[in-house]
Structure 1
Amino acid sequence: MKTIRTRALEAEHQATLTPGDDERFSGYGVMGLTFSTGHVLAMRRFPVTSVGPGYTSVWLRRPSGSWTIYANAAPDVSCARYFSAGLTDAVQCDVGVDWTGDTSFTVTIGQEVDLTWDVELGSTPITGAMSAVMTALPNKLLSSKAFLKTMGSAAGPMLSAGHLGLTGSVPNKQGFRAKPRRMWFISRSTATLGGEDLGTPQPLTVQTRLGDFWIPQRGIFVIGASSFDRFDPAQHLPATARRTP
């Protein structure tokens, strides 16, 4: 049986975009992980996209509620293209993801941010069953907003993750479709930010979100794809938009 690391590296080196004329991304990432200090971290590794070069990003929510996205690509061709209106800042910088074992990896951002985030992944009967179902689904079904809404509503309670939004609108007003194919839980994680220990993984008192994308109340790692409505300057906000204090 293939290890998680092998499947993730296959998703990286053999990544292809699904058919369509919307804005498409393929790869893997951590949907989100909440910590006892009130911090939230998420990670995206998209080796291929339809809007620019592949990139890696880290989403950081501080206990105050402010969000920053760090990415090694410009904001207008990375996650800030869709989420900037919900952010305090979007920063282009070096972001690293290094697989340290068959089920573990480390995410780092350099000295100015000084983030080190270690993640250990594990499989359970529910993640195995969900992965088996999702890998068998045709892309056309995973492109259906009605199906994704139903699947998200059912999967959230099944995964003990709170509300799980797989479709809806992002802060910059585009519609999105999240299309997971395989998933695992985060079984252990530690992180430091600027020398501060972020504590232990723990659900937030109030679940947080960016637009209709809800951060799960437990850590979930996925391999899959995402798509967004094509950018229309008459309807959507630019990557320079920022959250109003």
Structure 2
Amino acid sequence: MTTTTPRQAVEALQADPSLPEGDDERFTGYGVMGMPFASGHYLALRDMVASSVGPAYRAIWFRDPGGRWTIHTTGPTELTCPRYFGSVAAGTRVPGIDVSWSDDHTLEVTLGDDLTWRIELGPTSATRMMTGMGGVLPEAGWNSNTVLGAMGPMARTMLHTGRIRLRGATPNGPHFKAAPLKIWRVVDSAASYRGEDLGAPAPLDEQTRLGDFWLPQRGVFFVGRARFTPPIEQIDSGASAAGARMGQ
């Protein structure tokens, strides 16, 4: 049986950067869902190869030990991750974020002179099982609040990541649905931010979250999709405003 490596999965995604159908805001990409360090720092990576609201972009989420978040993004902040999380994380646009593979399971991420980050990936029985489930779940399942609501606790139990939610509200208001189609464990990682060694991978003393989006307590790499929709009250207020304008 042939096993797809993380590098092969990313290269296949880059060769066909398609979006799922829909009229919501959709993204296709890969990255590190989150990576905590013994120093209390936290890193996450997003490489969105396709977006329904703007150009493809890369982003690095950085949290310092004091709990302050910064999202470094290569795209306009209003069209990238700060669009949904900017109310609790400072968004800053950067000239570039480099991602390179040294082998099929190891990638190197750099943010100018500020960040160097090595990420080594590997499969486990749990990641293989969840990737297998992701491969057979139809799109309707990934759009179902009931299915996603059940998958979050399942992922927590199988991956030992702490709390995980695949649906919920972002700090800025829009609701998210996450579809991690393929996942791997981060088996080792080392990073330096602005000259400071972030230390060994280790869970935070208290799990962190942005709105309903909980960041895992162990490193997880994903290839998948995400959808964002405004909350019902925003839809209702928008429809009421449109109706009022039509009645004028």
Please point out which of 13, 16, 19 is paired with 2:15: 13
Q: Which residue of 1 aligns with 2:228?
A: 228
Percent identity over paired residues: 41
- Per-residue CA distance 1:11-53 (angstroms, 9 max, x = gap): 1221210111100000111100000000000000111000000
Q: Which residue of 1 aligns with 2:179?
A: 179
d(CA) in 2 for partners of 1:19, 1:52: 16
d(CA) in 2 for partners of 1:182, 1:3: 10
**SS at 1:154 equivalent:** helix
d(CA) in 2 for partners of 1:197, 1:109: 15
Native 8 Å contact 1:119 1:186 kept in 2? yes
d(CA) in 1 for partners of 2:67, 2:126: 31
Native 8 Å contact 2:48 2:56 kept in 1? yes
The answer on 1:138 being equivalent to 2:131 is: no
In terms of mean alpha carbon deviation, does 144-153 or 53-62 score higher? 144-153
Bigger Rg over Cα: 2
Q: Which residue of 1 aligns with 2:48?
A: 46
Native 8 Å contact 1:26 1:49 kept in 2? yes
Native 8 Å contact 2:41 2:198 kept in 1? yes
Q: 1:3 to 1:158 in 2, by over 3 A?
A: closer
In terms of mean alpha carbon deviation, does 175-184 or 1-10 score higher? 1-10
Q: Which residue of 2 aligns with 1:121?
A: 121
Q: Which residue of 1 aligns with 2:162?
A: 162
Native 8 Å contact 2:173 2:230 kept in 1? no
Native 8 Å contact 2:31 2:45 kept in 1? yes
d(CA) in 1 for partners of 2:31, 2:41: 18
d(CA) in 2 for partners of 1:202, 1:142: 30
How far does residue 230 in structure 1 lie from its aligned partner after superposition?
Answer: 4.9
How far does residue 120 in structure 1 lie from its aligned partner after superposition?
Answer: 0.3
Structure 2: unaligned runs, 5 residues or longer: 239-248
Number of aligned positions between the proteins: 232
Q: Which residue of 2 aligns with 1:106?
A: 108
Q: Which residue of 2 aligns with 1:82?
A: 84
How far does residue 149 in structure 1 lie from its aligned partner after superposition?
Answer: 1.0
d(CA) in 1 for partners of 2:228, 2:71: 18
Q: Could you tell me the TM-score, scaled by structure 2's length?
A: 0.91
**SS at 2:44 equivalent:** strand
Whichever residue aligns with residue 91 of structure 2, its letter is: A
Structure 1 vs Structure 2 CA RMSD? 1.4
Moved >6 Å (runs of 4+): none
Structure 1: unaligned runs, 5 residues or longer: 236-245
How far does residue 99 in structure 1 lie from its aligned partner after superposition?
Answer: 1.4
Q: Which residue of 2 aligns with 1:91?
A: 92
How far does residue 3 in structure 1 lie from its aligned partner after superposition?
Answer: 2.2
Whichever residue aligns with residue 137 of structure 2, its letter is: L
d(CA) in 2 for partners of 1:120, 1:49: 27
Native 8 Å contact 1:208 1:215 kept in 2? yes
- Per-residue CA distance 1:107-150 (angstroms, 9 max, x = gap): 11113xx1000000000111111100111100111011121011
Native 8 Å contact 1:3 1:103 kept in 2? yes
d(CA) in 2 for partners of 1:207, 1:13: 35
Whichever residue aligns with residue 117 of structure 2, its letter is: W
Native 8 Å contact 2:131 2:181 kept in 1? yes
